[in-house]
Amino acid sequence: MTIVKSMKKIVIYVASRCLCKILEALAFILFILFNRPKRSAIPPIVDRNLVTPAVKLSQQMRDGQLTSEQVVQSFIKRIRSVNPLINAVVTDRFEKALDEARDIDSRIAAARAGNGDTSILKMPLVGVPVSVKSTIGIEHLPLTGGLKARELTTADKNADVIDLLQKNGLIPIALTNIPELSRWWDSNNPIYGATNNPYDLSRVPGGSSGGEAALLASAGSVVGIGSDIAGSIRIPANFCGVFGHKPTPKIVSNEGTFPSANGEREMLLAQGPLTRYACDLVPMLKVLAGPKVDQLKLDEPVDMSSLKLYYIEDFNDPLASGCNTDIIEGMRSAIKYLVDKFKISAEKVYLDELKFGFLLWAAEANKEPNLPKFAELINNGNGELNPIVELFKKIFDVSDHTFNSI
């Protein structure tokens, strides 16, 4: 009997794996036939300001070598150049950004001359433009969540994180694209359309902070802010080759964002930084954490040799696509570097439960009985969306929702 059960498990595993491979091959063939790669379409970078970390740009401003207005102008010009290709920016505030940049330049000049508040010279990111995921409210700018029903909705005040950014001298320059209700790993919605990956315009940038990652990767921004409930910072950072960090829950305020999270679900949501350069992550996190920054102990040295490293290459789910070999090799190279340099121990582990990862996350995200269902949220609170009716409408191109949402 035991042998029969074992054979049955093997047959099911092999059949599932074959099905997965067939679907992968079919998807690849359809992609090649109908959506050919469009690489090398992004204009080359010719402005040095676009390839300089934010901390260095700010230091040059404080040293009188550069002005905030010059830097903001550089990124405005770049956004206007790349956005028609990647569709990452949904709303800009260029004129207000330039006004704020000029004001900061005046304050820096006064402080350097000994005629103003010198605290501005101690702000590590002062004068730097910052892009913002469009789920985060900026007063009077759209706060739609990618929902057609909220197309005319604007934020009546700044989100807490925007106030913190501006208090520390950063200048919001644009809002970036998201998927509908910020729920998918592409960045496509019925209001603004789809964002493209700057490395290949036929591919998605990840989601839900895909507009942020795409803009950073194309040098349209140097630092940005996104949000993450199930990979929404980490996935697009990976897809677009930039840096992102999901902070510990409730360290960074979620106030003033849409869609919002309540109750236990809020423990899964965090606003966090995305950056073009790794050296800008910690300064950005310090700004976003605000009064709670001391809880993170970011300035305490870390003894790398005392750490233990555990890593996973596969969780043996027959219906899951395997990790790209380039990514596996990259991870192995990073592990080897850490082991050789810091003499840490690294152990490859296998966690069978990870095959149920999405189901476990979904159960945690929906365990509160009084929270609205997704079918209600996607319909902007006007009852539950009927997927059958909406799918029929989609066939005739009269639906207000993306196929993913339906």
Kindly report whether the peptide bond that precedes residue 208 is cis, defined as omega within 30 degrees of 0.
yes
Which residues, 6+ apart, have CB-to-CB distance to 43 below 8 Å? 81, 82
Rounded distance between C-alpha atoms, residue 73 and residue 400, angstroms: 36
Rounded distance between C-alpha atoms, residue 21 and residue 321, angstroms: 8
Is 133 a catalytic site residue?
A: yes
Rounded distance between C-alpha atoms, residue 178 and residue 182, angstroms: 6
DSSP calls for 324-380: PHHHHHHHHHHHHHHHHHH--EEEE---GGGGGHHHHHHHHHT--TTSPPHHHHTTT
Active-site residue identified among 134, 232, 253, 405: 232
Rg for the chain, CA atoms, rounded:
23
Token pair 């789910």 in the structure block, residue = 317
Token pair 């043996």 in the structure block, residue = 316
Q: Which amino acid is at 33?
A: L
Helices 54-62 and 68-86: angle between axes, nearest 10 degrees: 150
Rounded distance between C-alpha atoms, residue 120 and residue 168, angstroms: 8
| Nearest Cα to Cα of residue 405 among 143, 207, 175, 205 | 207
Strand pairing class (223-228; 129-133): parallel
Q: State both tokens at 311.
A: 């890593």
| Nearest Cα to Cα of residue 91 among 128, 143, 164, 149 | 143
Q: Which amino acid is at 232?
A: S
CA distances from 294 to 5, 90, 290 (A): 55, 35, 9
Active-site residue identified among 58, 74, 208, 405: 208
Active-site residue identified among 58, 131, 133, 399: 133
User: Are the beta carbons of 185 and 207 closer than 8 angstroms?
Assistant: yes
Is 232 a catalytic site residue?
A: yes
Rounded distance between C-alpha atoms, residue 42 and residue 64, angstroms: 32
Q: Annotated catalytic sites, by residue?
A: 133, 208, 232
